[in-house]
Structure 1
Amino acid sequence: MQLRSSPPSPFGRKVKIAAHYLGLIDRIAVVFADTADPKDSLRGQNPLGKIPVLILDEGTIVYDSRVILEYLDELAGGGRILPRGPARLDVLTRQALADGIMDAAILQVYEVRMRDEGQRSAKWLDHQAGKVTRALAAFEARTGTFDPVLDAGSIALACALGYLDLRFAGAWRQEHPRLAAWLTAFDAGVPAFGLTQAQ
C-alpha cells in the first residue's frame, strides 16, 4: 500500500501512528505529496487535493484519515482502535473534536501562508483560534475520563496537540496543564508518536 502524505501533516501522522500500533506499517510505503503543487498526482487520487490518501495494493483509493483508520482497524481484525459497542461513540466523538482542532489550526496557518499580510483576515483567524480554544478547554475538562491508550480518539488528540506544538510553539500548554501531562504520558507509552514527529 502507499500512503500519500507529508511529514508536518497531523492527519497523515494519525494514519502512521495507527499503522505502527496495528502492526501494518511494514506494509505501507509513505510517498510524499505536495498539496500546493497542481502537478502532483495527489489531485487525481483525491479530487480535494488533501492528504492523507491510502492507495491499496489493487489500486483502490481511500481518504480521509478517519476512513483510512476504519480500513486499517478492520484489516488488523477490527475493534482495536475503533471499539465495537457503546465505547465506539465516545472514541469517534473525541476523534471528531481533535480533527476539528487540526482543521482550525491548519486554516490559521494557511491564512498566513497563502495571503499577503494586507489581505489576511483577523476576524477569520480569531474565528478559527476560538474553535481551538474551546476544543482544548473541552478536552482539558475531560482529561482523566479517558486513558492515554491507543484508540482513534487518543491518536487524533495527540496529533492535534503535536501540530499545535509544531506550528504554534506549544502556546496551548500553559493554560492546559492536565492535557499537557496527558500528552507526556501518551508520548511515553506510544513510541510511534516520537517516530512520526515532524522536524
Structure 2
Amino acid sequence: MMILRHSPASPFVRKVKIAAEVLGLADRIEVQDADTVAPEAAFLAQNALGKIPTLVLEDGTTLFDSRVIVEYLDHLAGGGRVLPKEPTARFAALRLQALSDGILDAALLIVYEGRYREPPMRLQSWLDRQHDKIGRALAVLEASPPDQTDVPDIGQITLACALGYLDLRLAGAWRKDYPRLVAWLDRFAARVPAFARTKPA
C-alpha cells in the first residue's frame, strides 16, 4: 500500500487524489495527514522540504511535487492516460497544467500573506500582483476554455483544482467575470465524480 501524506485543503493534493481515482489506483493509496507548519521528524525524513503532497511507495521510496507523483501514477496505470503519449496532446496538457499551477501558486501566496503576516506588514502591491496573475490567466482560459476528453488529462484536472481552490479560499469571486469557465467547471464536475469526492470539507 502506498501512502499519500496530505492536508485536506491542499489543491495539489486534490490533483493527485483525482488523478489516482481516474487511473483506478485510489484503493492502493492510504491517505495520512501531514503538518507542514510544524512537520514531525518522520515526515521530514520522507520529504526534507516538509511539503505536500508526498507519496511513499511500497518500498519506502518517496516522491514529491504533484507533477512528479501524477506522472508516476500514470506510469503505474500503464501510461498515456492522464499524461497523453501523443506529443501535441501531451504538451497541451502540460501547458494547461503549468498555467493552472501558476494560478494556484498566486492564490496560495495571497492566502499565506493573510495567514502569516500581521495586517501592518501586509503589502498590498504584492497582493495586487498575485491577483493580476490570476486574472490574466483566467482571461486567457475564458477566451478559449480547454476541451474535455473522455479521460481527463492532467491539465484539465489541475484547472478544475485551481478553480475549486479559488472557490474555497477567495470566496468564488472569479465566477462573476468568467461565465465560460464556470460552465466548464460544471461540466467537469458532472463528468468526473472524483472532483466532488475530493472537495475539502
Q: Common fold, TM-score beyond 0.5?
A: yes
The residue identity in structure 1 corresponding to 2:47 is N
Aligned pair count reads 198
Aligned-residue sequence identity (percent) comes to 59
Q: Tell me, yes or no, if the aligned pair for 1:54 and 1:63 is still in contact at 8 Å.
A: yes
Shift of 1:73: 0.3
Shift of 1:41: 3.3
Q: Which residue of 2 aligns with 1:190?
A: 192
Shift of 1:139: 1.0
The gaps in structure 2 that reach 5 residues or longer are: none
Distance 1:45 1:38 in 2: 11
Shift of 1:148: 5.8
Q: Which residue of 1 aligns with 2:33?
A: 32
The gaps in structure 1 that reach 5 residues or longer are: none
Q: Which residue of 2 aligns with 1:77?
A: 78
Runs of 4+ in 1 over 4 A off after TM superposition: none
Quick one: structure 1 residues 79 and 148, their matched pair in 2 at CA, closer, same or farther if it must change by over 3 Å?
closer
Paired residue secondary structure (1:41): helix
The residue identity in structure 1 corresponding to 2:50 is G
Shift of 1:48: 2.1
What TM-score comes out, normalization by structure 1 length?
0.96
Cα offsets for 1:80-133 (capped at 9, x unmatched): 000012210000000000011111101100011001111111111111111111
The residue identity in structure 2 corresponding to 1:117 is P
Q: Which residue of 2 aligns with 1:99?
A: 101
Quick one: structure 1 residues 124 and 148, their matched pair in 2 at CA, closer, same or farther if it must change by over 3 Å?
farther
The residue identity in structure 2 corresponding to 1:137 is A
The residue identity in structure 1 corresponding to 2:130 is Q
The residue identity in structure 2 corresponding to 1:70 is E
Once the two structures are superposed, the pairs formed by residues 37-186 of structure 1 within 5 Å of their partners are 37-39=38-40, 41-85=42-86, 86-143=88-145, 145-147=146-148, 149=150, 150-186=152-188
